[in-house]
Structure 1
Amino acid sequence: MTTFIPQLTLPQFVFDNPAVSILLPITLGTAIGYSSRPSRTKETYGKIKNPPGRPPPGVFGPVWTILYGLMGYAAYRAVHYGTSPLNSPATIAAAKAGATLYTIQLGLNYAWMPLFFGLNKPLLATVDIVTLLGVNGYLTYLWSGVDSVAGWCLVPYLGWLSFATYLSAGATYLNNGDLEGKNGRKEL
């Protein structure tokens, strides 16, 4: 079982306020998206070889906004209600451990785009997303035992992460792990 690590966990007030819990991942995800220069990212996405079934670039923003909102709501429910003193010590421990995993998965999530499109490291980005998928699989399992609504809120995220892992691994393979020259800038 994972343990609660306060130094690696978002502050409790984030989980106690539904608006903050929902808007934080949306805001940070949007900031990462824009800091990765959307026009350059879109251009690279169009130039690289992608596996079958890749969605058009305009799909990603709306899908991620919804998923970030759902994961934020899941975090609010699982931690806020799960840490109630009326719960068993095991439920409280699972809610807190999940808060640490949730924070870690946010970091992994936000690292993917800069790794793939910013640093031209698709293999590293694929390792990142495979790790992210595993962490979220366990987080979904853990929080499902704390609050079923929280667990169900993470299921679409798991589905999309599975698809995104396929896209990332497929693009890495089809481009021989090299995106240099496909985004108009040379790798340092």
Structure 2
Amino acid sequence: MTSFLQSLALPAYVFSKPAAAILLPLSLGNGIGIATRPDKSKQRYRQLKQPPLNPPAWLFGPVWTCLYAAMGYASWRAWNTGINSFSLETVELTKTGAALYTIQLGLNLAWMPLFFGMERPIAATVDIIALLGTNAYLTYVWSKVDTVAAWTMVPYLGWTCFATYLCAGCGYLNNGDFSKVPRKGAKAN
């Protein structure tokens, strides 16, 4: 099972080069953000009923930029600390962490198209819960490889918890279907 999981990891090159490790999540995250049309996403975000404590739409871009850079740095640090270890257990944990990192990155990138593109808050909530669990386990695995990498993931874990609350709350308040929420300027049925 572990070797299958490890086969899902991004190429070692991505983790071994700091620029690649940091720029990959930044560029993919920004690419998804642009593909889902930020002007339309911000407008749609304002039209949906929101749970208490929801931040302004402009805050998400800067926060995610910082989090993508931090997760990239953590992946580089954990890989380069663990892969060269004399402990076979640490090397195995490093490879498992690389696979978990790859999975969480995929889950992260899937969320925005699910939530805004397809307007599927239930699917987006399932995705973000899986993301949260994967991140928690990844942070645990990396804590056994490199504590700095694990601690670097803590803000991401915290934000993902908050984002899970926002996603589930928004889905609940809008009856699990954004397509029935009138768009600005559109006539209600």
Identify whether the pair has TM-score above 0.5, normalized to the shorter chain. Answer: yes
Partner of residue 42, structure 1 = 42
Percentage of pairs with the same residue = 57
Partner of residue 13, structure 2 = 13
Helix, strand or coil: the match of 1:146? Answer: coil
- When residues 114 and 182 of structure 1 are mapped into structure 2, their CA distance, relative to the original with a 3 A threshold, is farther
Which structure 2 residues correspond to residues 1-188 of structure 1 after superposition, within 5 A? 2-3=2-3, 5-84=5-84, 86-180=85-179, 181-183=181-183
- Cα separation, 1, equivalents of 2:124 and 2:29: 16
Contact 1:15 1:21 in 2 (8 A): yes
- Cα separation, 1, equivalents of 2:99 and 2:182: 37
- When residues 119 and 183 of structure 1 are mapped into structure 2, their CA distance, relative to the original with a 3 A threshold, is farther
- When residues 182 and 139 of structure 1 are mapped into structure 2, their CA distance, relative to the original with a 3 A threshold, is farther
Contact 2:22 2:73 in 1 (8 A): yes
Contact 1:4 1:97 in 2 (8 A): no
Cα shift readout 1:125-180 (whole Å, capped 9, x = no counterpart): 00000000000000000001100110000000000000000000000100000101
- Cα separation, 1, equivalents of 2:86 and 2:168: 41
- When residues 35 and 18 of structure 1 are mapped into structure 2, their CA distance, relative to the original with a 3 A threshold, is same
- When residues 183 and 110 of structure 1 are mapped into structure 2, their CA distance, relative to the original with a 3 A threshold, is farther
Contact 2:6 2:96 in 1 (8 A): no
Q: Note the C-alpha offset of 1:8.
A: 1.6
- Cα separation, 2, equivalents of 1:90 and 1:161: 29
Contact 1:3 1:93 in 2 (8 A): no
Helix, strand or coil: the match of 1:49? Answer: coil
Letter in 2 for 1:92: V
Number of residue pairs aligned between Structure 1 and Structure 2: 184
Q: Note the C-alpha offset of 1:80.
A: 1.7
- When residues 183 and 76 of structure 1 are mapped into structure 2, their CA distance, relative to the original with a 3 A threshold, is farther
RMSD of aligned C-alpha atoms?
A: 1.6
Q: Note the C-alpha offset of 1:4.
A: 5.8
Contact 1:4 1:93 in 2 (8 A): no
- When residues 26 and 67 of structure 1 are mapped into structure 2, their CA distance, relative to the original with a 3 A threshold, is same
- When residues 139 and 183 of structure 1 are mapped into structure 2, their CA distance, relative to the original with a 3 A threshold, is farther
What is the TM-score normalised by the length of structure 1?
Answer: 0.93
Unmatched tracts of structure 2, length 5 or more: none
- Cα separation, 1, equivalents of 2:6 and 2:20: 19
Unmatched tracts of structure 1, length 5 or more: none
